[in-house]
Amino acid sequence: MTGMVFHQVEEYLKGRRRAFDFPYILPGTEFQRKVWRALCAIPYGETRTYGQIAAAVGNPRACRAVGMANHQNPILIAVPCHRVIGANGKLVGYGSGLDMKEALLQLEKRVVQGDAMS
CA 44 from centroid of its chain's CA atoms: 9
Is 40 in the active site? no
84 three-class SS? strand
On the CB side of 11, CA atoms within 13 Å amount to 14
Under 8 Å between Cβ of 34 and 41: no
Please check whether residue 40 is in contact with residue 79, taking contact to mean a CB–CB distance below 8 angstroms: yes
Catalytic residue among 53, 56, 57, 81: 81
Question: 34 in helix, strand or coil?
Answer: helix
CB-CB contact of 85 with 61 (8 Å)? no
> Catalytic site residues?
81
